[in-house]
Each structure stands twice: as structure tokens, then as C-alpha cells.
Structure 1
Amino acid sequence: MRILATFILSASLVSTGASAFDLEHLKQLKETNACSKCDLSDADLSDLDLAKAIINRTNLSGANLSGANLMFANLVGSRLIGANMTETNLSAANVSGANMKGANLTDAKLIRARLRGANLAETNLTGTNMKGANLSDITQDNAILCNTVMPDGTVIRTGC
């Protein structure tokens, strides 16, 4: 029984480490403001200034980006599944083709952001400002729209 418990504990520690971000990738992003095709899943990037960052095709699933500045950033084709993006500034960012399923974008700024073909299914867009954003071909099944400013400036309050 003791051996089984040790095995289960060891297996859980190994599997937990496998889903964590790559420390070298995090260092690269912080030093160069660029990290394409990187693994930053579950990384804490909260409150960082990542304006104009090039982080396309990067795995940011489960990452904490709350309060981060991503103005003019390139996140094309990135995975942001379940990411915490509360109060994140994505104004004029290119997030085309990104998978943001289940992300929390409460009070985020996506003013003039390009989200063409992005997956916003099950995202929380409460209080999000998307004025002037390109939402062509997005998926938004079951997204929460509450006090959400749409590209034309109208405010959606139906999901509150």
C-alpha cells in the first residue's frame, strides 16, 4: 500500500511538471519581448508590459495575463485556452486565429484589436471594450456578453 501511494504521488508530480511553462521561454520573452512558438502555459505574466510583443503561435493556455499591457502585440494563432486576461490591454493587438476558449476577459480592452477567426467560445467578456475591433469569422458560442462594448459602440447587456 505504501509503495502504491508513493507511486501515485510521484506520477502526479511528474504530470504536473509536464504541463508547466518553459523557464527559458519565459526568460526570452522578458528579455526580448518576443517568443514565437513558445510554451508559456500556466505562466504568471500579470501586470507585465508586453506592448508590441511578438508571441505568435505560443501556448499561453492557463496563463495569468491579468493587467498586462499587450497593446499592438502579435498573438496570431496563439493558444489562450482558459487564460486569465482580466483587465488586460489588447488594444490594436493582432489576435487573429487565436484559441481563447474559456478565457476570462473581464474588463479587458480590445479596442481596434484584430480577432479574425479567433475562438472566443465560452469566454467571459463582461465589461470588455471591443470598439472598432475586427470580429470577422470568430466563434463565440456560449460567451458571456454583459456590459460588453461591441465594435460599432453598442453595449450588449443580455448576458448579465
Structure 2
Amino acid sequence: MKRLACLAVLMLSLSAAAAAQNAGEIARVQSGQSCSGCNLFQADLSYRDLPGVNLSNARLRQASLALATMNRANFSGADLSIADLFGGRFTGASFRNANLENANLVGAYFGSADFSGARLSGAILSGAEMERVRGLTQTQLDGACGDGATQLPRGLRIPVC
């Protein structure tokens, strides 16, 4: 009985580790390949140049995209909650229906990115350049925070952090 209990605990821990992230999928994206729906939990994509990569519906929770250049990337439906996008460049990227709750978008550049339906509750947008983004609403921004350096489309405002 004791062995069976130990085996059950081992199996549960292995399945939890497998659900945590997928090293092969992370390596694939780090090399510049698309990976729609992949499990990229806590992936380190910082400092990478990944133009046009398709990460739609991917799990990027707690991932680091700090100082990455991901112009025209597709994050539609992706989970970017608690992710670090500090200083990244996301020109023309799609964040349509993405979860960016509690994410760090400090100093990131989002020229002409699409934020339609994105969830921004708890996100920090201090110093982010979002002046030309599409699909951004006041309701989305009301749950986020920023500072005087946050650039938004005309008529929108953000609570101060």
C-alpha cells in the first residue's frame, strides 16, 4: 500500500511538471518557429528577435519577453498573465482576446498593435507607447495603471500606478 501511495505521488508530480511547461516547444519558439497553442509557461524569450511568430492561444503565463522584438507576432487568445514584456517591441502584433492580466508592459512599444478584447486588469503600462494601437478601450485601461509617460490614443486615459 505504501508503494502504491508513493507511486501515485510520483505520477502526480510528474504530470504537474509536464503541465508546467514544454522545453521542446520553448526551444522551438526560441529558434524563431511559430507554436500556436503551445505550453510556454515561464519561457525565456527575452532579447530575442522573433518577427511574425504565431503564438496564438499559447500559454505564456509568467514568460519573459523583456527587450524582445516581436513585430507582427500573433498573440491572439494567448495567456500572457504575469508575463514580463518590459521594453519589448511589438509593432503590428495582435493581442486580440489575449490575457495580459498583471503583466508588466513597462516601456514597451506597441505601434499599431491590436488590443481588441485583450484583458489588461492589473497590468502596468508605465512608459508604454500605445498611441497608435487599435481596439483599446477606456474600460480595458480602467483596470490597468500607468504614468505620465504612457502614450495612449487620443481621448483615453489610464489610472496612475
State the shift of 1:30 in Å: 3.0
What CA distance in whole angstroms lies between the structure 1 residues aligned with 2:69 and 2:52? Answer: 9
Aligned residue in 2 for 1:80:
80
Q: Which residue is 1:70 aligned to?
A: 70
For the residue of structure 2 that corresponds to 1:70, the secondary structure is coil
RMSD (CA atoms): 2.7
The change in CA–CA distance for 1:20 and 1:113 in structure 2 (over 3 A counts) is same
3-state SS of the aligned residue for 2:111? coil
SS at match of 2:94: coil
Q: TM-score, normalised by structure 1?
A: 0.83
**Take 1:32 and 1:156, find their aligned partners in 2: how far apart are those partners?**
35
Counterpart secondary structure, 2:25: helix
3-state SS, counterpart of residue 125 of structure 2? coil
Q: What do the CA deviations read for 1:44-100 (whole angstroms, capped 9, x no partner)? A: 111011111111100000001100111111111000000011001111101100000
Q: Unaligned 5+ residue runs, structure 1?
A: 1-9
How far the C-alpha of 1:106 sits from its partner, in A, is 0.3
CA displacement at 1:28 relative to structure 2: 2.1
Query: C-alpha displacement at 1:18, in angstroms?
Result: 4.5
CA distance in structure 2 between the aligned counterparts of 1:48 and 1:132, rounded to whole angstroms: 24
Task: Determine the structure 2 residue equivalent to 1:150.
Answer: 152
Q: How does 1:6-155 map to 2 (within 5 A)?
A: 17-18=17-18, 20-136=20-136, 139-146=140-147, 147-152=149-154
Secondary structure in structure 1 of the residue aligned to 2:140: coil
In structure 2, what is the Cα distance between the partners aligned to 1:158 and 1:25? 37
Query: Which runs of 5 or more residues in structure 2 are unaligned?
Result: 1-9
Contact 1:122 1:141 in 2 (8 A): no
Shift in Å, 1:139:
2.8
Whether contact under 8 Å (1:70, 1:90) holds in the other structure is yes
Q: Distance between the aligned counterparts of 1:96 and 1:155, measured in 2?
A: 19
Give the TM-score normalised by the residue count of structure 2: 0.82
Aligned residues: 153
Question: Contact 1:122–1:140 at 8 Å: present in 2 too?
Answer: no
